[in-house]
């Protein structure tokens, strides 16, 4: 069970109270819970505020690593959450598999459509997800889908930043308070590279190989027959030391070459060429061209 923290600084305590009030005012909520620290904290606080009237829902989709699904199910059990797993399949949507820059819009639309149907079945009118105030700076077309479906972002509404969320998660005794940021497997592909179940499985196998060798913050970026590794700076030396083993493992998975990105892991690196070209529109800047 999550616990209610008793000692927080005044600003964080006020934001937590605001989050609690937002959820209590709803009376009952459905929460899209991916397993990352944001959505888990939201589900935990909702559980404290509303008990069984807070229902956490995880979407089992082709782009969710099996390791993450198992971990999320186990965490929900440990926390005593009212937790459901539903099946979604964004790969049935050709607009998604074409992998445009607004790919996340189609994924979130699929998710929110399922949650909307579930909310009607359970007679729970409010749907929430784990966007926070820091998420407003990155390229996030999924938030457009949230607006279209009327999905609330209580963490953002309460003014909570990522640092706030980690501090609250730690204060609540959540074991994933310092878990690295999550992103679906489709985020490992350059925009315009078609996404298939087979390629998702290849990337997942490569990342499982890293996990099994002790790496904890990383991404495997897929560039055809080349896998580009992004690791946390403190894990780069380990990647170099294990290079022969990693190359052999990745070749067995289907990659011909393996590279290490010396810039290290960074959130949203596949968005680095995405620029605004007009209000409400986005495009991809070709390498070497100036931003406009």
- By C-alpha distance, which of 152, 176, 185 is closest to 19? 152
Backbone phi, psi, residue 232, to 5°: -60, 145
**Hunting for tokens 């960074």 — which residue is that?**
266
Count Cβ neighbours within 10 Å for each residue of 259-280 and write b for 16 or more, e otherwise. Answer: ebbeebbeeebbbebbbeeeee
Give the angle subtended at the CA of 186 by the CAs of 56 and 127, to the nearest 5°. 25
Q: Which residues pair with 220 in a beta bridge?
A: 229
**What separation in angstroms does the CA of 148 have from each of 20, 152, 167, 268?**
25, 11, 31, 24
Active-site annotation, residues: 184
CA distance 90 to 156: 26
Residue with tokens 């010396």: 262
Question: Distance of CA 94 to CAs 99, 100, 103, 196, 201, Å?
Answer: 9, 10, 10, 10, 18
Q: Which residue has the tokens 């229902």?
A: 55
- d(CA 189, CA 199) in angstroms, rounded, equals 9
124 and 45 in contact (C-beta within 8 Å)?
Answer: no
């Amino acid at each position: 069970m999550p616990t209610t923290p008793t000692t927080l600084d005044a600003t964080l305590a006020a934001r937590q109270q605001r989050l609690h009030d937002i959820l209590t005012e709803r009376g009952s909520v459905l929460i899209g819970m991916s397993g990352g620290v944001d959505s888990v904290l939201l589900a935990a606080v909702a559980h404290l505020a509303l008990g069984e009237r807070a229902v956490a829902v995880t979407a089992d989709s082709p782009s969710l690593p099996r390791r993450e699904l198992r971990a999320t199910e186990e965490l929900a059990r440990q926390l005593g959450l009212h937790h459901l797993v539903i099946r979604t399949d964004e790969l049935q949507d050709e607009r998604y598999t074409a992998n445009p820059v607004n790919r996340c819009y189609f994924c979130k639309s699929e998710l929110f459509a399922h949650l909307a149907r579930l909310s009607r079945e359970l007679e729970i009118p409010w749907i929430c997800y784990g966007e926070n105030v820091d998420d407003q700076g990155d390229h996030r077309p999924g938030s457009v889908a949230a607006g279209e479906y009327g999905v609330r972002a209580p963490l953002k509404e309460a003014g909570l930043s990522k640092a706030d969320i980690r501090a609250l998660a730690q204060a609540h005794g959540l074991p994933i308070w310092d878990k690295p940021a999550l992103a679906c497997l489709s985020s490992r592909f350059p925009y315009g590279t078609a996404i298939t179940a087979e390629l998702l499985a290849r990337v997942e196998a490569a990342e499982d190989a890293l996990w099994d060798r002790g790496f904890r913050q990383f991404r495997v970026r897929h560039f055809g027959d080349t896998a580009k590794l992004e690791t946390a700076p403190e894990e780069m030396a380990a990647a170099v030391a294990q290079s022969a083993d990693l190359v052999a493992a990745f070749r067995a998975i289907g990659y011909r070459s393996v590279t290490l990105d010396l810039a290290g892991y960074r959130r949203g690196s596949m968005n680095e060429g995405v620029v605004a070209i007009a209000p409400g529109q986005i495009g991809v800047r070709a390498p070497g061209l100036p931003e406009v």
